Chains A and B, each alone.
Chain A
């Protein structure tokens, strides 16, 4: 039984329910207490011990149901024994002829364990695994038996062979189904992980529409990880620096004897971030994920204002706050996107209306390729932005070797950026935003 539980834990891990070794021990102790007899009790008890968020509870429920569902073998029509048929000694044949569905299921289970069905990883292994299970159950011998029976011209033997043939076909079906379920349990998640790993490293432009959902999930998860990391350090006690005033105040009830010492603390401000995104065709994909990332971080960012431009610049914070990012982005694009970009004009617009909001605690993130279609880049405004803000970060989806080629003004803008980096995958994004947050602590 211990092995069953271990298999179940593996399946759970595959479904992204975190199960640490300590929790595995808990699970074993839980099972010891409640036993396997009552299914609901077992489920509720394991759920309490293993699933730690409401998301995980949902995943746990579906995993439990799938894992412990033993589709009953389809009941075969009871058929009377064939008079005059020879006795068969092969266990599998006996099972097929007279065994109950539960017996067959159990036999298959044993064969599957022996064949290592839980180790299945790839869809292509399914055929092989099915075959292995059937071999362990004694398929070869069964086939030999059927052949012998068919050859012996006695009608009862042939009838028996026919029935065994039918049983064999059914058995194939059951085994295939069994393997399909095992694949679903153990392997699908592994495939998913592989895919996500791949997506993290894919250039943001190359991501297909069909992967957008998956990408959003990845980005949200990354953001959540950063958020929990930075949410925790709001106050920081400076060890060893005594806060004399508050220590004296606290010592009053004790007749002026400083029983309690109070240490100085630094309060940490939450970041203020201004994002300016180029939403021309070439950068739109990257902009979508950057905005999604930042808006998933709302717990740790004090204020976030987003601006988008192609030829003119507008504030898009409101659209982004009121709608999920996947809807907001197309709306923004429709409003202002797909025109020829003019960085100078965009900076001028920003300077006129929003420059007041930028102060020494603001990080400005600019996302764009820096290709201004030969219009005036307004470097002077860039300098002002640089001087007023805590830091200016320029994310460019183009690789660095392209900066400065053609109409790219990147080398000139770069002078006034604290950081200028290529940002072409979500991993780059995560790293850079991590740096931004770190700079506040």
Chain B
């Protein structure tokens, strides 16, 4: 544990306290709850990855993007999918260049070895040649390796890790616990500065205990009305207060219905942007009906709330 890279040296002041994190993220337009900020605080101080869970569209990915922007660190993003393997996540050899190198070597070899006396001397000279074939020069870094090799640290986003295979999850363990990777031909590469790692999961499958144990866990719930209003205000600047209140109240009430997919923050924001585009200053039934497909993504859901729209709009107007 002693040779673990020290985290957060360059941005020490920024992540010095939970309040400064809330403030900092707010500065780049991400309204973080205290739980979120605390998780980042701990992650920075203990250099541990954060596993972010929550339903689609609550701002899991956005959190990583905003954090990178705020800390001024490069964001390295890796999208997981079934079949993702080391060669796409970690490193790949530059096969083409290796091929050229062998050709080069062959030509050169003739010249060098031409005047050698006997096989032994030829071998001796060959050894002096240096083993370049599997060296860092021919290494094509993929996201994980790239993140470890950033001089100033990085924000590494491993998106939708639940979609990856079991084997890949096991392979992540080394990266996440020691911030190092082993490349059989070269050896172990250790991060200079531990990156801040976010893993996001939609709970497609339950993550293994080993992975969970190595991570801090952060669950982002759907926001309450107050928080959501602040988020809308931050993300859709210029929206009128009364419209914003109605809009958020409407979405909040919609979440109480029995829906297949509850609208989350990203849908609220999209909807707010639509309202801005249409130059609307208050909700009315007709308008809501026409734009409901922005909020609800299933035909059955739209069908299910169609009847209660006037009622909800009326209540939202009073909010």
> What is the interface of chain A, defined by CB distance below 8 A to chain B?
18, 20, 22-23, 26, 29-30, 33-34, 40-41, 44-45, 47-49, 51-54, 56-57, 224, 228, 231-233, 235, 253-255, 257, 259-260, 299
A253 near B46 with CB under 8 A, answer: no
Contacting residues, chain A, for B50 (C-beta < 8 A) = 48
How far is it, in angstroms, between the C-alpha of A48 and the C-alpha of B98 when the chains are bound?
46
A48 near B39 with CB under 8 A, answer: yes
B219 near A41 with CB under 8 A, answer: no
Chain-A contact segment, one of B118-126, B209-217, B266-274: B209-217
B35 near A48 with CB under 8 A, answer: yes
- 8 tightest A-B CB contacts, nearest first: A44-B38, A232-B166, A48-B39, A48-B216, A52-B212, A52-B217, A33-B45, A54-B219
Flag B35-51 by CB within 8 Å of A: 1 or 0 each: 10011011101101011
Report the minimal beta-carbon distance from B228 to chain A, rounded to whole angstroms.
19
Chain B interface mostly: helix
> What is the interface of chain B, defined by CB distance below 8 A to chain A?
18, 34-35, 38-39, 41-43, 45-46, 48, 50-51, 53, 87, 93, 95-96, 98-99, 165-166, 205-206, 209, 212-213, 215-219
Report the minimal beta-carbon distance from A421 to chain B, rounded to whole angstroms.
29
- Beyond A33-B42, A253-B95, whether A44 also contacts B213 by CB under 8 A is no
Closest to B219 in A: A54
- Beyond A26-B48, A33-B45, whether A47 also contacts B213 by CB under 8 A is no
How far is it, in angstroms, between the C-alpha of A44 and the C-alpha of B38 when the chains are bound?
6
Known: A26-B48, A45-B38, A48-B39. 14 other contacts (CB 8 A): A40-B34, A44-B18, A44-B34, A45-B42, A48-B35, A48-B50, A48-B216, A53-B212, A56-B217, A57-B219, A228-B206, A231-B206, A253-B95, A253-B96
- Beyond A26-B46, A33-B42, A40-B34, whether A259 also contacts B217 by CB under 8 A is no
Closest to A38 in B: B18
Count of inter-chain pairs, beta carbons less than 8 A: 74
Report the minimal beta-carbon distance from B7 to chain A, rounded to whole angstroms.
12
How far is it, in angstroms, between the C-alpha of A260 and the C-alpha of B43 when the chains are bound?
38
Contacting residues, chain B, for A22 (C-beta < 8 A) = 213
Closest to A232 in B: B166
- Beyond A44-B34, A257-B99, whether A18 also contacts B209 by CB under 8 A is yes
Contacting residues, chain A, for B166 (C-beta < 8 A) = 232-233
How far is it, in angstroms, between the C-alpha of A57 and the C-alpha of B51 when the chains are bound?
14
Contacting residues, chain A, for B53 (C-beta < 8 A) = 53-54
How far is it, in angstroms, between the C-alpha of A257 and the C-alpha of B218 when the chains are bound?
47
Closest to B17 in A: A41
How far is it, in angstroms, between the C-alpha of A260 and the C-alpha of B45 when the chains are bound?
41
Contact of A29 among B34, B46, B209 (CB under 8 A): B46
- Beyond A44-B34, A45-B38, A254-B96, whether A20 also contacts B216 by CB under 8 A is no
Contacting residues, chain B, for A18 (C-beta < 8 A) = 209
Contact of B42 among A20, A48, A255, A259 (CB under 8 A): A48
B42 near A52 with CB under 8 A, answer: no
How far is it, in angstroms, between the C-alpha of A228 and the C-alpha of B207 when the chains are bound?
9
Q: Would you mind naming 24 contact pairs between A and B with Cβ atoms under 8 Å apart?
A: A23-B213, A26-B46, A26-B48, A30-B42, A33-B45, A41-B18, A41-B34, A41-B38, A45-B41, A48-B38, A48-B43, A48-B216, A52-B51, A53-B212, A228-B206, A231-B205, A232-B166, A253-B95, A254-B95, A254-B99, A257-B99, A259-B93, A259-B95, A299-B205
Closest to B48 in A: A26
A49 near B96 with CB under 8 A, answer: no
Contacting residues, chain A, for B38 (C-beta < 8 A) = 41, 44-45, 48
How far is it, in angstroms, between the C-alpha of A254 and the C-alpha of B93 when the chains are bound?
12
Report the minimal beta-carbon distance from A51 to chain B, rounded to whole angstroms.
6
Contacting residues, chain A, for B51 (C-beta < 8 A) = 52
- Beyond A48-B217, A57-B219, A231-B205, whether A255 also contacts B99 by CB under 8 A is yes
How far is it, in angstroms, between the C-alpha of A23 and the C-alpha of B210 when the chains are bound?
11
Closest to B53 in A: A54
Report the minimal beta-carbon distance from A112 to chain B, rounded to whole angstroms.
30
B206 near A48 with CB under 8 A, answer: no
- Beyond A41-B38, A44-B38, A254-B96, whether A53 also contacts B217 by CB under 8 A is yes
